[in-house]
Each structure stands twice: as structure tokens, then as C-alpha cells.
Structure 1
């Protein structure tokens, strides 16, 4: 079970991360709203555990943006803002649970386990052109037939599918590939994007990978025109 921990207090994040790992959770830690959005765009998590007071915004704003997106994991807030009005606000805006600091590791683990058991978010199959992806089983199909690209190409494709219609930054794709077992070369993303484009064309997936200059890569239906180049 994998949790994204969003906490800018380094000491608290380290303590929670270590405790979660001992409790059987794989914890990935980031310290800002922007870093959390980048991680969610390319990664798969069973839960999101976040603080409200972050350096670049309120964790509640992130929950507000995520709550209507498909395949969003259960979202648990932890904050010092503990009056009833703030708790109700957090829950009304989409949080699945709300913990008031100071909190104990035992409580955090218990609430994460409860949220995971409830299965608050239902995985939705992502479809574009003839290509479909089931996030629950991670099965890829093209026109109903199994599609099994090599590991690194699959990693890129899953990241692009999860983020659509938004582009994914090249740096985020590099980080995702770096989580695999081999060193990532400087031009690895370009190489594997080229290979994946060729493979998708060969199986007539009906999708294209557009380069969005200055932003990264975006997956579109084959009939969608490439976006205009942007400086940067």
C-alpha cells in the first residue's frame, strides 16, 4: 500500500514516513502543493495524507481540485485548524478524513487503513481512441486486445494516461523512469517517447503523443491537432 505524504515540516515528515513504513505502508514524501500535483500526475497511490498549511498554498485547495478527478485516492487532512467549522469545511470540500494536530502515528495508521478498506474512490477505466487502461488491474488494451509494451514504454504511457488531458513535464517522466531498476540516460525520455509513438501507431491505438514545447508531453486522440508551440 502506497501513500503520498505532503508535509513541509521535515522532522514530522521523517517520523511519519518511518512509522508508516514500519506499519506496512510505502511512504513517498513531498513538501508542497506543486510537488504533490507532480507526483500524482505520474504516480499511483492508495492514499493521500496532507497538511493544510503548505509553503505554496492550502492543502484544501489541492483536495478541491482533485475531488472530481477519476481514480483519486482517499484524501486525509492533518492540520492544527481543529475547530468544528474548519473540520466541516474540509470534509465538505472533499476530504475523506480530518485529523487535528497533534496526532499520533497509531491514529494516522488506523485512519489510513480504514480509508483503504472503505475503498472511497472507485477506479475508472481510462479510454482514448482504441486504447483503454484499467487502473485497478493496470491492464492495457487496444480495441479489446491486450497491449503489452515494454516496461519503460508502459511507464510513460501510464503516466500520460493518468494525466490526460494535461501534459506531463519531462522531468516528471524522468523521475518516474528513475524508479525502475536501471540508470536513466539524459535523453531517455525522448528515446522512449519515440519508441512508444511507433508502437502505438503499429497497433492502431488511435492516439498520438504530442510534444508541448516548454511543458512536456500530452496524450491525445489521433484526430486532435498538435497544440501550438510554447516558448520555454
Structure 2
């Protein structure tokens, strides 16, 4: 899974859902060793933003906030997905670090991080979206190979009979507590993740691949509510994959 970089954002209270702040401070009473002392505080107007503060004396802190990590003493981090997560705190100062965790509840997927409409077109958010082969597309661009600047495969297009082994494959993308990808093939389900750049329009599957894929970073030629059209861009050539929303008919 892609590791999300830290960033500090200004509050836009008018468009954020307010919630109660969450804070916890722990100081164990043990007379020996490191005495843990830290706080985890959510922004009440924007609970994706979490402030981490380490007050533990004589120790080097490390925070694991699920979507990233930092050894900063004080940090402001973004939890991009809605749900309940544990933020782990480690204090290093001896052979064995002391550890504790705090559970935080995030109201919704971060509207700032997922501001591009392309996220929703691809995934339908946490609910998920299912894509299948566009085998009924009129220009027969469902799969094949063509020139590097061609919008459709013209050098080779497999017959529908040649596509029979993957004709019923399904891909599911969703943003339910992570960047989730699922491939359904021949009665088997493979769960993995994905990396998506909504500005450059590139997509990579992590831990699996699309049907008849090349385990590469795909360039998206077209992404609408009903179509996902991708290519592997080569030197003077392209390989094509054309999918449609399950239930859509050309």
C-alpha cells in the first residue's frame, strides 16, 4: 500500500463534519524503565487530521499511524480513510522499546485527499465498483495491440473465442479503509491493493493484476462512469484493455 506523506492543512469548517475530539495520555506507574507519556488528539472540525505528541523522557519516539510512520516527537498526520484504526506509539531507550496504542475513529474518507472526481469514477468510494470486459464495445477495442498513438488496437485483436478464459472475470475497486482491489477469476477471488494517480491518470495493481495484465503501470485513456480504458505504453506500440461498469451495455 502506498505510504501517505504527512501534510498540514487549513481548516475549512463549513465543509467538514464536526465531531468530538479524542485525546489520551498514558503515564505508566512502574518505577523503573521508560515512563510512557504521549497524546493523540483529533481535530474536532476535521477528524482525519491527528496531532501526535511525545512527552516521554529519555526515549526516541516512533509512531505507526497505519498509513505511514514517523519518528518526529510532535507531528500532524492525515488519516485518509474513514473507520476505526489503532495508532501505535513506541518509545526507544532500552533494548526492548515500550509500546502502547490508541484507537481513533475517522468519520469519513478525507474529502481533501480524494477531491478528484476520478477517485469516485474508478471506485465508487467505500461502496466499491465492479468492472468487467467491454466485449460488446462497437469498435472491438476490448483487447489487443496497436501503434503507440492509436486510440484503438489495429495490429491485433483477439477473437471472442480467444477471450473465453477471462470473459467472465470481474475487477472490484473500493476505498473501504484502504486502496483495495479484488480480482474474480474462474471461481477464485484474489484480494490486493492498487496505486492510482488521478492527475496523471495512471494505475498499478499491487499484489495481483488486471485480467491478461502485464504487471505494469497502466495509462488510462478513458475513465467515465461506465468505461475504464487502459493501455500499456511501449516504444511505438500500445497494448489495450477496455472494461465497462458491470451491468452497462453499449
Q: Establish whether TM, by shorter chain, passes 0.5.
A: no
Give 1 or 2: higher strand fraction: 2
Larger CA Rg, structure 1 vs 2: 2
Give 1 or 2: higher helix fraction: 1
Q: Structure 2 length normalisation: TM-score?
A: 0.28
